[in-house]
């Protein structure tokens, strides 16, 4: 549980850093640069501490990790393209869909008993619905068919990714292998998009890199910590708990904006945070 909460804090810090320092630069180039750095960090950790355990990962486990990483990368791509003309409230609704898909799979195929999580789940989802209501008042944009398709695909891909990563992590493999594979696949996907993009020139990318190199290195460190703690938490809990607790991230992002940048806040944000925090506390009481 502590790992999952830490992961949310790191993701929220990353969101804030992105919004404040990097939003005006090319998105895919930033993702490619960031994921390259996190992949390198992952390889350094593996070579330094886990080189002897590589032989314990057989081909079926590696294939599961790789496919899970591909699903995660596809989910990220769909999310970014959907958000080009979409809104955060629309994204939030489909984050709830991820929880529903993961919970349904675990119920029908893993026999998960929801009885222990019923009250906690209602509190977390209730707090998140308040968050959606708050941001939806600021944006009444209607969703298009293309956005609906992209957000739906995002939900399916992310749900598949978290479930498959969970199955591989249950084999007690070091988390760093999943982290590094996921980031390497994201790098290959994003650098492909950068390469085929007609609007990007090598000179422009070089100029952007000079401006954002320090910030991207900081972001890469934060994201690496977020993914590592997130996967570590997933290894010791289950995908439903992980997806429920991930709903805390956007609210933490707002609160960090209030703390670090003196953004405006309201009582609904605080109440949403308290409801979700109470739900997380109740889940923690149920985990052996």
**Range of weakest confidence among 43-47, 64-68, 249-253:** 249-253
Position 180 scores a pLDDT of 98
Position 284 scores a pLDDT of 83
Tokens of 151: 């957000």
Is residue 267's pLDDT more than 70?
yes
Nearest-angstrom CA–CA distance, 249 and 15 = 9
Is residue 209's pLDDT more than 90?
no
Query: What is the pLDDT averaged over residues 55-80?
Result: 95
Ranked by mean pLDDT, which of 9-23, 116-130, 235-249 comes out on top?
Answer: 235-249
Give me the percent of the chain exceeding a pLDDT of 70. Answer: 93
Measured in whole angstroms, the distance separating CA 260 from the mean position of its chain's CA atoms is 22
Question: pLDDT tens-digit profile of 162-202?
Answer: 999 999 999 989 999 999 999 999 999 999 998 887 666 66
**Range of weakest confidence among 15-24, 77-86, 196-205:** 196-205
Tokens of 11: 């993701």
Is residue 106's pLDDT more than 80?
yes
Position 242 scores a pLDDT of 95
Nearest-angstrom CA–CA distance, 65 and 162 = 10
Position 114 scores a pLDDT of 77
Higher pLDDT, 80 or 284: 80
Higher pLDDT, 249 or 55: 249
Ranked by mean pLDDT, which of 185-189, 236-240, 275-279 comes out on top?
Answer: 185-189
190-228 in b/e form (b: 16+ CB < 10 A) is bbebbeeeeebeeeebeebeeebeebbebbbbbbbbbbb
Confidence of residue 288 (pLDDT cuts 50, 70, 90): low
Position 108 scores a pLDDT of 92
Tokens of 6: 């830490």
Position 277 scores a pLDDT of 93
Position 254 scores a pLDDT of 85
Question: pLDDT tens-digit profile of 90-101?
Answer: 898 899 999 999
Tokens of 112: 């998960």
Position 235 scores a pLDDT of 94
Position 140 scores a pLDDT of 62
Is residue 131's pLDDT more than 80?
yes
- Looking at every residue in the chain, the average pLDDT score rounds to 89
Query: What is the pLDDT averaged over residues 108-136?
Result: 87
Rounded (5°) CA angle 163-14-93: 50
Question: pLDDT tens-digit profile of 224-237?
Answer: 999 999 999 999 99
Query: What is the pLDDT averaged over residues 141-164?
Result: 92
Position 88 scores a pLDDT of 78
Q: Which residues contact 281 (CB under 8 A, 6 or more apart)?
A: none
């Amino acid at each position: 549980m502590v790992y999952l909460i830490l992961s949310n804090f790191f993701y929220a810090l990353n969101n804030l850093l992105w919004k404040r320092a990097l939003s005006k630069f090319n998105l895919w180039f930033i993702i490619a640069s960031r994921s390259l750095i996190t992949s390198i960090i992952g390889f350094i950790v593996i070579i330094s501490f886990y080189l002897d355990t590589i032989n314990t990962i057989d081909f079926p486990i590696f294939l599961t990790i790789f496919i899970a990483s591909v699903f995660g990368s596809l989910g990220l791509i769909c999310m970014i393209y959907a958000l080009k003309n979409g809104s955060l409230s629309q994204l939030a609704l489909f984050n709830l869909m991820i929880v529903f898909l993961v919970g349904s799979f675990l119920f029908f195929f893993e026999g998960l008993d929801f009885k222990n999580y019923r009250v906690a789940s209602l509190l977390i989802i209730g707090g998140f619905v308040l968050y959606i209501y708050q941001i939806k008042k600021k944006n009444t944009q209607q969703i298009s068919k293309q956005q609906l398709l992209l957000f739906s695909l995002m939900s399916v891909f992310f749900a598949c990714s978290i479930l498959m990563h969970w199955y591989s992590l249950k084999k007690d493999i070091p988390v760093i292998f999943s982290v590094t594979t996921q980031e390497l696949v994201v790098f290959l996907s994003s650098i492909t998009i950068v390469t085929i993009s007609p609007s990007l020139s090598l000179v422009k990318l070089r100029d952007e890199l000079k401006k954002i190199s320090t910030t991207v290195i900081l972001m890469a460190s934060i994201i690496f910590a977020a993914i590592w703690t997130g996967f570590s938490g997933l290894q010791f809990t289950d995908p439903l708990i992980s997806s429920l607790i991930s709903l805390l991230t956007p609210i933490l992002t707002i609160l960090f904006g209030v703390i670090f940048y003196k953004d405006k806040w309201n009582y609904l944000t605080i109440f949403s945070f308290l409801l979700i925090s109470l739900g997380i506390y109740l889940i923690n009481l149920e985990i052996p």
